[in-house]
C-alpha cells in the first residue's frame, strides 16, 4: 500500500484523537460536528480498504476520550455504546436491508423513532427506586461520577414511583433548551464572561462542574431513551417503545416526539416530519434515531464492536460548518444598536445557504479574536441569524485584516456611543437616523409623550416609507390635503389628525423632554429634569456633573443626555421642533405645583374608588413625588386600593408604610 495512504490514516487518527480530547475532556471543540463526521468517515473508508493498516488504537473503535481525572471514575456494568450514522435515505435503506438479511425471511420489523437529542449522554442508577448515582458516558466502558450534579436537574426524579426493579439503570440525554441557552449566553456576554458555542457544549460543561451549586443554576433538562442494567427476574415489555412508556409511568421524563412505525417508509416519513419541525423544537437535535422495536429481535441482531446492529442515527444536514470571513458590515437596529455582521464565503448549513453571520458586538469580536480572512465555524439554529462561534486560528492566513468598529453611524454619520459597562454600541442620532426613524416618531407621538391622537403605528410606517416624515418636526409640516391622500384616510379623518397634531404645539417641558426619546430618560426622569432645571436651554447645556444633581440621575443617564445633545444631528432636529412646539414661560416645570413631597417615592396598587390610578399619580407628581411601578426598599409608602395583590405582599414583607385611599387624600390635601 502507498506511503501516502498510511500517512493520511495516521494524520486522520491524530486529528480525530485531538478533536475527541477537545470535545470529551476540554468541552472546547475546535471544529463543528460536520467536519468531525467527514474525517471520521474518511478514516473508516480507508480502514475498510486497507485493514492491514488499521491501528488497534484507532478512534473508530471507541466512543470518545478518557474520563476526566477530576471526578471519580465509574465503570459501566453494561457498556454505553455509540450508534452508527446514516447520512442519506440510501444509507438508511442499506441499514434496513442488512436487518432483513440477518433475520428470518418474512419477519415483520417495527421501529421506534426518536429525535436524536444533541446534548450529553448520562447514566442514572436507581436502587429501590432511589437515585444513587449519575455518570457520564465517557469512553463507553467507564465514565465520571456526576451524581451531585444530576441531582440538581429539576426534571430528574430523586425517587421513582410504583413497583420499580431493585436496581435500574436509565440512560438518556441532558440538554439545555434553546431559549434558556440564548438567555444564558446573552447574560454572560453582558457580564464579560465565557459564552458557550452551542447548547450541547453548555449541557456538557454544566455537568462537569465540580461545584454542584453552579450546575443547579444552569437550566438543564433530561430525557430518558433506554435502559442499561436491570435486576434479574424483572419482567419488562418486549418492546423498546413500551419500555419507554414504562419509564414514564415510573416518573422519568421521556420525549413526547417518540413514535412507533411498522415500515421503512414510516421511518422516512418520521424523519421528514421531524426535520421540518426541527427549528420549532425547544432543544437541539441533529437527527433521528431508529431502533428495532422488538427486544427479542434486538437480541437476535446483536452488536458489532462499537454499536448495536439494530439501531442507527440518521443525521440531519449539519447546523455547524466551516467557512471564511470575507468582510464585515455594520447594521443599525431600530433602537440604534450597531451589530457587526460577517460576510461569508457561502456555505450550506442545515440545508440553507448562508452568506452572513452575526458577530454580536465589539466584545464578542475581541473574545473570539476573529479577523477578516479567518476560517470560522458558523452555527445556524432555529430562526435566528447564523452566528460565528469559533475561529480556527491554526488555519489563519498571513493576509488577515483587523475588524475595526465604526466611530460614526454607517446610516446617518452620527457619533457612535458606547457607555462604559455596556456591551452594545449605539448610534447617537436617535431623532435623525433613518434606521431609527419609525421608532423615534412612534415614541414622539405616544400618549405619555406628545399624545398625538389618531397617529398610530401603521400610519407612522406609511408616512416614513413615503419619505414625508424624516424627523418629528416634519409632522407639523403635514397639510390636510397631504394627509387626505393616505390609505383609508378620508377628508374628515385628515382634518381631525391635523388638528390633533396642531394641539400638541402647546405642551410642557417634561413631555417634550420625554418625547425626544433620550436613552434611559423615562417619564419620571423627564419630570425631574424639568423640575430641577426649569428651562430647556438649561437641560441642553448642562454638564454630566450638573445633571447628576437631579434625583435618580446617575452617571449613565447623565452621559446619555450629554451625548444626545452633543450630536449635531439631534441638535438640528430639536431646533426645528422648537419652531413649532412651545410651553408657557415661567411654567417650564410642567405640572409641578410644589416640592412638598420631593424625594419621596410612592407605588400605587389595586383599585381606587374616588379617582383613577393615573389621577392619583398626577396628583402626587404635582407635589414633587416620584411614582414608581415596582416596590423596593427605596419606596416611601405603598398606596393600596381594593384587590391589591403581590405588591402589597412585598411591601408588607419589607416593612413599608401602607396607605389607604383616605390616607392618600389626606396626604394630597394636607
Residue 312 C-alpha cell reads as: 442507527
Question: What are the contacts of 537-545 at 24+ separation with CB within 8 A?
Answer: 539/513, 540/565, 540/574, 541/565
* 8 A C-beta contact, residue 178 and residue 284: yes
Please indicate whether residue 116 is annotated as part of the active site: yes
Catalytic residue among 48, 56, 62, 116: 116
Compute the distance between CA of residue 73 and CA of residue 547 in angstroms, rounded to an integer.
61
Output DSSP code: residue 385: P
Determine whether 279 is exposed, middle or buried from the number of CB atoms within 10 Å of its CB (0-12, 13-18, 19+).
Answer: middle
- Which residues are CB-neighbours of 540 under 8 A, at least 6 positions away? 565, 574
Compute the distance between CA of residue 458 and CA of residue 438 in angstroms, rounded to an integer.
10
Cα dist from 567 to 81, 295, 413, 545, 570, whole Å: 63, 73, 10, 19, 6
- Which residues are CB-neighbours of 61 under 8 A, at least 6 positions away? 305, 306
Rounded to the nearest 10°, the torsion over CA 551, 556, 557, 559 is: 120
Determine whether 467 is exposed, middle or buried from the number of CB atoms within 10 Å of its CB (0-12, 13-18, 19+).
Answer: exposed
Compute the distance between CA of residue 185 and CA of residue 54 in angstroms, rounded to an integer.
42
Residue of 133, 151, 128, 152 whose CA lies nearest to 143: 133
Compute the distance between CA of residue 385 and CA of residue 356 in angstroms, rounded to an integer.
8
* 8 A C-beta contact, residue 338 and residue 330: yes
Terminal alpha carbon distance of the chain? 102
Strands (E), 32-129: 73-75, 85-86, 111-117, 120-127
Compute the distance between CA of residue 638 and CA of residue 658 in angstroms, rounded to an integer.
5
Could you identify the residue written with the cell 443626555? 561
* Secondary structure string (H, E, C) spanning 88-150: CHHHHHHHHHHHHHHCCCCCCCCEEEEEEECCEEEEEEEECCEEEEEEECCCCCEEEECHHHH
341 beta partners: 329, 358
Compute the distance between CA of residue 468 and CA of residue 438 in angstroms, rounded to an integer.
12
Where do the H-state alpha helices sit in 208-314? 212-216, 240-249, 264-277, 295-301
Tell me whether strands 387-391 and 375-379 are parallel, antiparallel or unpaired. Answer: antiparallel
Residue 637, phi-psi category: left (phi > 0), alpha (psi -120 to 50), beta (remainder): beta
Tell me whether strands 637-640 and 601-605 are parallel, antiparallel or unpaired. Answer: parallel
* 8 A C-beta contact, residue 333 and residue 409: no
Which are the catalytic amino acids? Answer: 116
Amino acid at each position: 500500500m502507498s506511503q501516502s495512504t498510511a500517512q493520511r490514516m495516521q494524520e486522520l487518527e491524530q486529528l480525530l484523537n485531538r478533536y475527541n480530547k477537545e470535545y470529551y475532556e476540554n468541552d472546547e471543540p475546535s471544529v463543528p460536528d460536520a467536519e468531525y463526521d467527514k474525517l471520521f468517515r474518511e478514516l473508516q473508508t480507508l480502514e475498510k480498504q486497507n485493514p492491514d493498516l488499521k491501528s488497534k488504537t484507532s478512534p473508530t473503535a471507541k466512543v470518545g476520550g478518557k474520563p476526566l481525572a477530576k471526578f471519580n471514575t465509574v465503570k459501566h456494568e453494561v457498556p454505553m455504546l455509540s450508534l452508527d450514522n446514516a447520512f442519506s435515505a440510501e444509507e438508511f435503506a442499506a441499514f434496513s436491508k442488512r436487518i432483513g438479511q440477518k433475520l428470518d425471511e418474512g419477519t415483520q420489523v417495527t421501529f421506534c423513532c426518536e429525535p436524536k437529542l444533541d446534548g450529553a449522554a448520562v447514566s442514572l442508577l436507581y436502587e429501590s427506586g432511589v437515585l444513587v448515582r449519575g455518570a457520564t458516558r465517557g469512553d463507553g466502558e467507564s465514565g465520571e461520577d456526576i451524581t451531585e450534579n444530576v441531582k440538581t436537574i429539576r426534571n430528574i426524579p430523586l425517587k421513582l414511583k410504583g413497583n420499580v426493579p431493585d436496581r435500574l439503570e436509565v440512560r438518556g440525554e441532558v440538554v439545555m433548551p434553546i431559549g434558556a441557552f440564548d438567555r444564558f449566553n446573552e447574560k454572560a456576554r453582558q457580564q464579560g464572561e465565557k459564552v458557550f458555542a452551542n447548547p450541547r457544549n453548555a449541557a456538557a460543561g454544566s455537568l462537569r462542574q465540580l461545584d454542584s451549586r453552579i450546575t443547579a443554576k444552569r437550566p438543564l433538562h433530561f430525557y430518558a431513551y433506554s435502559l442499561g442494567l436491570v435486576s434479574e427476574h424483572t419482567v419488562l415489555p418486549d418492546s423498546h417503545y413500551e419500555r419507554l412508556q414504562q419509564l414514564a409511568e415510573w416518573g422519568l421524563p421521556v420525549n413526547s416526539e417518540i413514535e412507533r412505525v411498522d415500515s421503512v417508509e414510516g421511518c422516512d416519513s418520521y424523519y421528514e416530519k421531524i426535520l421540518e419541525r426541527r427549528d420549532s423544537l425547544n432543544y437541539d437535535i441533529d437527527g433521528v434515531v431508529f431502533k428495532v422495536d422488538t427486544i427479542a429481535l434486538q437480541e437476535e441482531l446483536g452488536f458489532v464492536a462499537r454499536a448495536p446492529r439494530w439501531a442507527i442515527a440518521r443525521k440531519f444536514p449539519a447546523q455547524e460548518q466551516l467557512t471564511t470571513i470575507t468582510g464585515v458590515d455594520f447594521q443599525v437596529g431600530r433602537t440604534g444598536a450597531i451589530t457587526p455582521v460577517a460576510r461569508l464565503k457561502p456555505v450550506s448549513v442545515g440545508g440553507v445557504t448562508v452568506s452572513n453571520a452575526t458577530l454580536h458586538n465589539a466584545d464578542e469580536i475581541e473574545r473570539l479574536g476573529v479577523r477578516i480572512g479567518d476560517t470560522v465555524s458558523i452555527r445556524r439554529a432555529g430562526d435566528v441569524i447564523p452566528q460565528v462561534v469559533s475561529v480556527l486560528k491554526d488555519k489563519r492566513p498571513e493576509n488577515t485584516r483587523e475588524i475595526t468598529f465604526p466611530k460614526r453611524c454607517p446610516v446617518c454619520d452620527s457619533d457612535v456611543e458606547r457607555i462604559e459597562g455596556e456591551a452594545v454600541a449605539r448610534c447617537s442620532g436617535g431623532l435623525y437616523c433613518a434606521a431609527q426613524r419609525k421608532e423615534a416618531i412612534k415614541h414622539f407621538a405616544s400618549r405619555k409623550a406628545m399624545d398625538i391622537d389618531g397617529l398610530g403605528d401603521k400610519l407612522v410606517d406609511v408616512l416614513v416609507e413615503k419619505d414625508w416624515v424624516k424627523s418629528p418636526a416634519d409632522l407639523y409640516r403635514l397639510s390636510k390635503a397631504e394627509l387626505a391622500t393616505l390609505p383609508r384616510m378620508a377628508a374628515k379623518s385628515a382634518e381631525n389628525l391635523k388638528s390633533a397634531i396642531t394641539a400638541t404645539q402647546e405642551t410642557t417641558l417634561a413631555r417634550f423632554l420625554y418625547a425626544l426619546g433620550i436613552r434611559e430618560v423615562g417619564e419620571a426622569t423627564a419630570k425631574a429634569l424639568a423640575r430641577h432645571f426649569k428651562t430647556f436651554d438649561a437641560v441642553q447645556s448642562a454638564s454630566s456633573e450638573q445633571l447628576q444633581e437631579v434625583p435618580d440621575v446617575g452617571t449613565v443617564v447623565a452621559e446619555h443626555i450629554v451625548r444626545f445633545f452633543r450630536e449635531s444631528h439631534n441638535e438640528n432636529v430639536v431646533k426645528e421642533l422648537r419652531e413649532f412646539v412651545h410651553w408657557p414661560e415661567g411654567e417650564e416645570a410642567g405640572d409641578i405645583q410644589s416640592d412638598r413631597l420631593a424625594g419621596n417615592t410612592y407605588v400605587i396598587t389595586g383599585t381606587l374608588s374616588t379617582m383613577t390610578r393615573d389621577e392619583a399619580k398626577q396628583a402626587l407628581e404635582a407635589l414633587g413625588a416620584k411614582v414608581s411601578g415596582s416596590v423596593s426598599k427605596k419606596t416611601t409608602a405603598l398606596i393600596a386600593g381594593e384587590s391589591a395583590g403581590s405588591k402589597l405582599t412585598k411591601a408588607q414583607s419589607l416593612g413599608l408604610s401602607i396607605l389607604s385611599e383616605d390616607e392618600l387624600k389626606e396626604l394630597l390635601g394636607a
